[in-house]
Chains A and B, each alone.
Chain A
């Protein structure tokens, strides 16, 4: 009884559940190695990983484009193989590659997508989507006359055309200019606010840092970390304190040997790395010791590692 309740609770919590998923391509290459992953209902999940890590492969399997070699995936507790209709109905996919028809108009291709998902025509809704993606004035244009960034937005419009509950964005901002990228992320935030679950991949880590609730890092076909973004930043983020001194130093004074300090190249700066997760970072003590040693501070600044630094650290550790 208790187990059943727990299972039900978990099912409500996570909208996508991936269990022991493996993928071996016909070439024999193993692109995914027993992946386990849960995507929470209503979150923005950023899947990060270097080129060839397996992000697109994972998305392809969940969406029904690739066949898994082993394992199980459910979408809102519908199995993607045995109950594919229910599972796929919930999903919108923006693929990484710009796969578009050439001769169709924007309006026709977006309406086509809605039809594929068995939804009745709804011109008002499609108009809303096209306007939100700044495509309204292009609605009658043939797709081949659009620029790369516009085509990318057409793909997003197609994915949204059937009002999905889960949206996969495989590098949605590649080739989209800064201004429109902002608009695009606003569309994504609005979707999240309306309850849509979003899974995105991007190589612009600062976008993930801005947008995501949780971060997953995948490398060489294995998930190496899944964490709340705030928690991740706190756990793995490092802070650096740089002190500009009024005098030159040739060696560290004995009083300061307890701290892991390095002297900057010019001899008048001290660099102190500390973990944000440590309760007592000892910055105050350090400053006390400095004045006791007779060193006077001209200026100081702190810098904090970005998600990008953390990501690079994680991935390069495992090479």
Chain B
């Protein structure tokens, strides 16, 4: 195992985060605060509580997930796409590094950044609304698993993309809508039965539901199902990455 290479890639990516600290951290915090003001204050004045949880508090896990998902995919995809774009990827390809080590470095760094962001948003939320975390262990587990899974998804996008538009398309057109429809701002139980069934095909529903359960013990689906679905998605991403490296897909001509 070439741990020094993993460390080198990880540190390189974290240095990139530090260089773009404003863009990396301030803008998600700002937009989350705006969500609070708009949704929490405007809608919260009508819907006072859902299943015994004040509406402002209810949306916190969903907001954290929203940031976690979009940031993980965007960061990880950019992290691997950029060296491909500039050509500096030659060095990674010619180094004695295994695919697993490359993924560990890039995905590890992207996930770390998202987790830090998630925690910052959690801390910010505490300023706005009362919060309690019933199952801290599960909260952290969901946070880490989701960050890792969506960073992997981002990594896949970064290898697949051959232009900056494609890089934006998936987070913008798939991840964000799925998150909004996945129960960030409501419980899926308020939907008509047909839409409840359709929601079950949205993987983000499971993430948000599980994550929210770890806070308030209320959930749309059982938390074990949530963990199972997250792990399943993680495995699917792992297999895809493994296949990409095995075939040299878009990495090596």
Contact = CB atoms under 8 A, between A and B. Distances in A.
Interface of A: 25-26, 63-67, 84-86, 88-89, 91, 93, 95, 97, 99-104, 108, 112-113, 115-120, 158
Given A108-B15, A117-B5, A101 B94 contact: no
B200 interface: no
Give 9 closest A-B pairs by Cβ, nearest first.
A115-B8, A99-B87, A116-B95, A85-B96, A63-B94, A88-B96, A118-B2, A89-B96, A118-B4
Contact of A99 (B5, B90, B97): B90
B51 interface: no
A113 B93 CA distance: 12
Contact of A100 (B88, B92, B93, B253): B88
Contacts of B5: 115-118
Contacts of B15: 104, 108
A65 B96 contact: no
A118 to B, nearest CB: 4
17 contacts: A26-B253, A64-B93, A66-B252, A85-B98, A88-B94, A93-B90, A103-B19, A104-B12, A113-B91, A115-B7, A115-B8, A116-B2, A116-B4, A116-B5, A116-B97, A117-B5, A158-B91
B23 interface: no
Contacts of A86: 96
Contacts of A116: 2, 4-5, 8-9, 91-92, 95-97
A174 to B, nearest CB: 15
Contacts of A103: 16, 19
A118 B98 CA distance: 12
A67 B94 contact: no
Given A25-B253, A66-B252, A66-B253, A112 B94 contact: no
A113 B15 CA distance: 15
B86 interface: yes
B248 interface: yes
Interface string B217-253: 0000000000000000000000000000000100011
B4 A115 contact: yes
A188 to B, nearest CB: 19
B166 to A, nearest CB: 19
Which one of B7, B19, B88, B94 has the highest number of Cβ atoms from chain A below 10 Å of its Cβ? Answer: B94
Contacts of B16: 103
A273 B15 CA distance: 65
Contact of B94 (A91, A115, A118): A91
A97 B87 contact: yes
Contacts of B19: 103
A169 to B, nearest CB: 14
Given A104-B15, A120-B4, 13 more contacts: A25-B253, A26-B253, A65-B93, A93-B94, A95-B90, A99-B88, A99-B90, A103-B16, A104-B12, A112-B8, A113-B95, A116-B5, A117-B96
B252 A65 contact: yes
